[in-house]
Structure 1
Amino acid sequence: MSNADVYILAIESSCDDTAAAVLKNNQVLSNVVAGQKIHEEYGGVVPELASRAHQQNIVPVIDAALKKAGIDKKELNAIAFTQGPGLMGSLLVGTSFAKSLALSLQLPLIAVNHMHAHILAHFIDEEGYEKPDFPFIALTISGGHTQIVKVKSFFEMEIIGETTDDAVGEAFDKSAKILGLPYPGGPLIDKYAKEGNPKAFPFTKPKVEGLNFSFSGLKTQIMYFVQKSVAADPDFITNNMNDICASIQHTIIEILMEKLKMAVTETGIKRISIGGGVSANSGIRATLKAAESKYGWKTYIPKFEYTTDNAAMIGIVGYHKFLEQQFNDAEVTSKARIAF
């Protein structure tokens, strides 16, 4: 290990995935994620169960990340962890472990904003993936967040649009629930949509001023549409699943694209990145890629494994904070809501 190399152990525990990664500078040596199947039977994440599962998973996951990276913990230069936003019980598990480990190894501690990490995941060194130049526009879409962010530098970001109610991931999952699909339903809507007609069932797009979003009205509209259709034909969902999913997905993508076009017009910035779990959606990825030739944008789509919650994205923020010596003391606390 040369003096120039920086080894970061990163821990992510904001929701229901326990994750650990080891980075050498901006390269990922390991990225381990343990999911939690228990929430499927409840149709959503149960916070108390999530925090208990994190307590069971965190030691094996970190051990696996170090072994996979071929790194001894004595070689580490810092510990990075998700401070927030997220579920308080889940965050506390990761924060407490990171603080204890940093203290025992006498290493610097680096607190990371989960939303910054989704945006900066693009700066992980990965063959075949370009890194955006500053400034760029980031569309961060997940189960809990929908934001348009103007990214001026690694540590200078401004939210210029966000959801006023439900996040886009909720809109996908709740629509799937209305259709009787299991949790998490977003990926299933994407799967069925590939075989359907996106214009089969037109849904009205909400009128929201500026760059903000609203998805609760769309969700209600879908619910009433399905109820009315099933009352007329009990087999409506079964017979039209592909078309319903394609129509829902098409409407959501149109809402996102309209706001992105407005953001480009307002800022003059044509470099667009996506991040967050919903950016794994194939329809969104294809539409954004098509925007390069259609609107003259340059679009940045991260590697699939860095879209959903993972620790590699926490590690890349940790690395850049390490270079700037932005460390936290042992008094740092988890925050379910955190200033951007």
Structure 2
Amino acid sequence: MLVLTVDTTTSYVVAGLVRFLGGDATAQPVAQVIHDEPRGHMELLTPSIMSCLGECGLAPADVDAVVVGEGPGPFTGLRVGMATAAAFGEALGIPVHGVTSLEAAAYGAAVGASAGDVIAVITDARRREWYYTAYEVRADGALEPLLEPAVAAPADVVAALEEIQPAGGLTVLAAKSVAGPVREAVEPREGWELRSDDAWPQPVGLATAAARKAGGSDKLTASSAPLKAQYLRRPDAVEPKRKPASSAVDFSSVTDAPETGEVRVVRLGVDAAPRLTEIEAELFAGDSPWPLQGFVWELSRDNTIYVGLETAGGELVGYAGIAKNGADDDPEWEIHTVGITPAHQGKGWSKKLIEPLIAEVDSVGGPVFLEVRTDNAPAIGLYESYGFEITGTRKGYYQPSGADAHTMMRPAHEVAEGTVIVGVETSCDETGVGVVQLRADGSVVTIANEVASSMDQHARFGGVVPEIASRAHLESMVPTMGAARARMRRALAGRDKPDAVAATVGPGLAGALLVGAAAAKAYAAAWEVPFYGVNHLGGHVAVEALDTGSAEGMENAIALLVSGGHTQILHVQGLGKPMEEIGSTLDDAAGEAYDKVARLLGLSYPGGPVIDRLAAKGNPKAIAFPRGMMRQQDSRYDFSFSGLKTAVARYVEQAERDNTTVAVEDICASFQEAVVDVLTAKALRACEDYGAGVLLLGGGVSANKRLRELAAQRCAAAGVELRIPPAPLCTDNGVMIAALAAQLIHSGASPSGLAAATDPSLEVDIPVVAPE
């Protein structure tokens, strides 16, 4: 059995291959590559793994299991090793076992130890604290924990070890970064011995710890428990005290709670029949809605699939059903109904219902048929976007209304040839994995788009907490990749791996970038495909041309990217080409200003959707808030929103002093109008100055309804084409990263290589990190 061992919990970058023979628990070293480089974990780990394999003439597929140190250790380094190991194992479909890194270090010193000996391990926890634990050697050579891994000040560590000091003395292993002070603590104490002043988890120790934990080396090929990082400290984030809303802000017209917009797709059984009957009656009141028994029968059949939309509160607000007919080797499919309650229509949720049904069809094959009212233009357009064509008309099909129906058909899906690219995005608080296919004609089509957001974890802090985001990325990466790969298999006739992997390497939050890039490189290495480290902002631009196959006008275009972390105007000179930043915010990003204003008004986080919703009911001219950086002497393309935020605060404070009130809707509308006025004015100014005929709008704030509306009005007046991606592709996602990589591959760009580094401040003129 060949085991890959990985650890990055100390200054060492550890990659090693260990072999177990038969059921023997004795680990035999095969190869190892070790670097003492505390700031090089991400750059060195995956290349070191491949060096170990290459040295032995082995391939990733020869590995039977992976073992990784789960800590404790400095958070950033710890996550690089765990993300790499988890991704490597998931890519190959082999188990990944986590072990305590301190225990792995102890097993290295336990060779030749006698039963009853006690071994303590101490490593650097920074902040003038130590990680520590202690073990007793059993007769069979296994280590019995005497102290659970913990973090404490040096004096407290010494006190804890003194309490368990056995008669036979204490063997101490110390990481080199704390060896000096540990020696000072050990030498005066009788029976204490500093056995190692450079202790770290070595490959054999990691493998041995895993085999002991599993109950034998032969158990390492069995499924393992989920990895769990041993941080031993909570994130350094303090929940701000929520300020009560000012008495000057009038909420009396706000009758409904903010909608989360969160729904999930669920598989429906017979128990859903009563609710489906209610929805059906509401949707088809003028015709012949299905009765309860009709739904009971349909939901009970083996050849039907019904899915529903369930809100966060558990309410079923939509459903869709499909039936598989004919022989298994030559099936035909019929979509029965796609229905959403009127109160929840217009949100694009129909796609959430259709996509799993189409995915099921494409995984099996066969044409799909349906009927739709001839006057239901939105539904017809939706079906056409999935490849359905009108094949005929049935007069008076719907009774008793007598409405006509179009029959529509989607031909059996044929898997097109092309280069498949997986993209990974972790620059902020979304873990995104996207899959696209680059066709021979240069067009790029979406295969999968899976996103896991940690927004809810940040909400109580009023903004993104980098450490929380990084931890969430580590937890979400493998499940999100698994979901994207499942879609890829269904859409591409069982295909299980891509032709290339790409990841955001900057700009973004340093710790968050490391998790995604480390995992992506491990996936690329395990699958033995090229890796591209690409620019996050370039991804927002690249996604504009997705699924259209057209790059017309992109050789000279202006991009306005607006989010919680970025507000920039970029000059685009071709997809996948270096861009020029011609304007940016001098202080707060637009999305950040939304969040801060929402907080001072007593609204929830994130502020953008809440303010947008309330602004729709307010008067944008009620309050004349200032437009920053719009004077003649100001920069033509730069922004400033801190003054606007202050103006809102001062206005509310003055109203409170004057004992007057103002509707929160009017404040939101007036604030929002000031923001979108400046954004669109400067973007159109750039289009005019650069002679650009296309304005690209991207970033999370581009989902704002008023921004889209005003941009469309001003672009139409200026004769500029406005391009905005679908709402799911406005926020951070893996599809945009894969799309940028696809365009780079099409233009002949070289892969970045597995040693590529991340750069939190990556400039926009670098679309892809060059190989070293």
Q: Which residue of 1 aligns with 2:592?
A: 170
How far is the alpha carbon of 1:201 from its aligned partner?
A: 0.5
- Give per-residue Cα distances to partners, 1:228-268, cap 9 Å, x unaligned: 2233337x3xx501111100011111111221232123112
Q: Which residue of 2 aligns with 1:34?
A: 452
Q: Indicate the SS of the match to 1:156.
A: coil
Alpha-carbon distance in structure 2 between the residues aligned to 1:333 and 1:132:
33
What 5-or-longer segments of structure 2 have no aligned partner?
1-413, 439-443, 765-772
AA aligned to 2:637 is L
- Give per-residue Cα distances to partners, 1:124-149, cap 9 Å, x unaligned: 1059x996542111111111111111
Q: Which residue of 2 aligns with 1:24?
A: 437
Query: Quick check: 1:137–1:151 contact (8 Å CA) kept in 2?
Result: yes
Q: Which moved more, 1:150-159 or 1:302-311?
A: 150-159
Q: Indicate the SS of the match to 2:756.
A: coil
* Structure-2 change in CA distance of 1:255 and 1:103 (3 Å): same
Query: Quick check: 2:554–2:573 contact (8 Å CA) kept in 1?
Result: no
Q: Which moved more, 1:262-271 or 1:212-221?
A: 262-271
Does residue 258 (structure 1) correspond to residue 655 (structure 2)? The answer is no
How far is the alpha carbon of 1:105 from its aligned partner?
A: 1.3
How far is the alpha carbon of 1:3 from its aligned partner?
A: 9.5
AA aligned to 1:152 is Q
Identity %: 37
Of 641, 645, 650 in structure 2, the residue corresponding to residue 215 of structure 1 is 641
Of 43, 55, 61 in structure 1, the residue corresponding to residue 462 of structure 2 is 43
Q: Which moved more, 1:225-234 or 1:266-275?
A: 225-234
Q: Indicate the SS of the match to 1:222.
A: helix
Q: Which residue of 2 aligns with 1:150?
A: 571
Alpha-carbon distance in structure 1 between the residues aligned to 2:554 and 2:468:
41
Q: Greater strand share, 1 or 2?
A: 2
Q: Indicate the SS of the match to 1:110.
A: strand
Of 617, 625, 637 in structure 2, the residue corresponding to residue 195 of structure 1 is 617
Of 736, 745, 755 in structure 2, the residue corresponding to residue 331 of structure 1 is 755
Q: Which residue of 1 aligns with 2:696?
A: 273
- Give per-residue Cα distances to partners, 1:41-63, cap 9 Å, x unaligned: 11111111111111110000000
Q: Which residue of 2 aligns with 1:232?
A: 658
Q: Which residue of 2 aligns with 1:137?
A: 558
Query: Quick check: 1:131–1:300 contact (8 Å CA) kept in 2?
Result: no
Query: Quick check: 2:684–2:714 contact (8 Å CA) kept in 1?
Result: no
Alpha-carbon distance in structure 2 between the residues aligned to 1:168 and 1:157:
21
Query: Quick check: 2:619–2:669 contact (8 Å CA) kept in 1?
Result: yes
Query: Quick check: 1:74–1:105 contact (8 Å CA) kept in 2?
Result: no
Query: Quick check: 1:321–1:327 contact (8 Å CA) kept in 2?
Result: no
Q: Which residue of 2 aligns with 1:58?
A: 477
Q: Which residue of 2 aligns with 1:85?
A: 507
Matches within 5 A, 1:104-115: 104-115=526-537
AA aligned to 1:276 is G
Query: Quick check: 2:562–2:568 contact (8 Å CA) kept in 1?
Result: yes
Alpha-carbon distance in structure 2 between the residues aligned to 1:33 and 1:80:
16
Q: Indicate the SS of the match to 1:153.
A: coil
AA aligned to 2:475 is Q
Alpha-carbon distance in structure 2 between the residues aligned to 1:330 and 1:156:
22
Alpha-carbon distance in structure 2 between the residues aligned to 1:334 and 1:148:
23
Alpha-carbon distance in structure 2 between the residues aligned to 1:291 and 1:258:
8
TM-score (norm 1): 0.94
How far is the alpha carbon of 1:171 from its aligned partner?
A: 1.2
The higher radius of gyration belongs to 2
Q: Which moved more, 1:66-75 or 1:46-55?
A: 66-75
Alpha-carbon distance in structure 2 between the residues aligned to 1:220 and 1:143:
18
Higher-RCO chain (CA-CA 8 Å, sequence separation at least 6): 1
Q: Which residue of 2 aligns with 1:9?
A: 422
How large is the Cα RMSD of the aligned pairs?
A: 2.0
Q: Greater helix share, 1 or 2?
A: 1
TM-score (norm 2): 0.42
Alpha-carbon distance in structure 2 between the residues aligned to 1:304 and 1:326:
31
Alpha-carbon distance in structure 2 between the residues aligned to 1:260 and 1:333:
32
Alpha-carbon distance in structure 2 between the residues aligned to 1:2 and 1:68:
13
Aligned residues: 336
Q: Indicate the SS of the match to 2:709.
A: helix
Q: Which residue of 2 aligns with 1:159?
A: 581
How far is the alpha carbon of 1:99 from its aligned partner?
A: 1.1
AA aligned to 1:101 is Y
Q: Indicate the SS of the match to 1:204.
A: coil
What 5-or-longer segments of structure 1 have no aligned partner?
none
Q: Which moved more, 1:207-216 or 1:129-138?
A: 129-138
Matches within 5 A, 1:276-287: 276-287=699-710
- Give per-residue Cα distances to partners, 1:109-166, cap 9 Å, x unaligned: 0111001111111121059x99654211111111111111111112131111111111
Alpha-carbon distance in structure 1 between the residues aligned to 2:716 and 2:743:
33
Alpha-carbon distance in structure 2 between the residues aligned to 1:157 and 1:221:
34
Alpha-carbon distance in structure 2 between the residues aligned to 1:247 and 1:66:
45
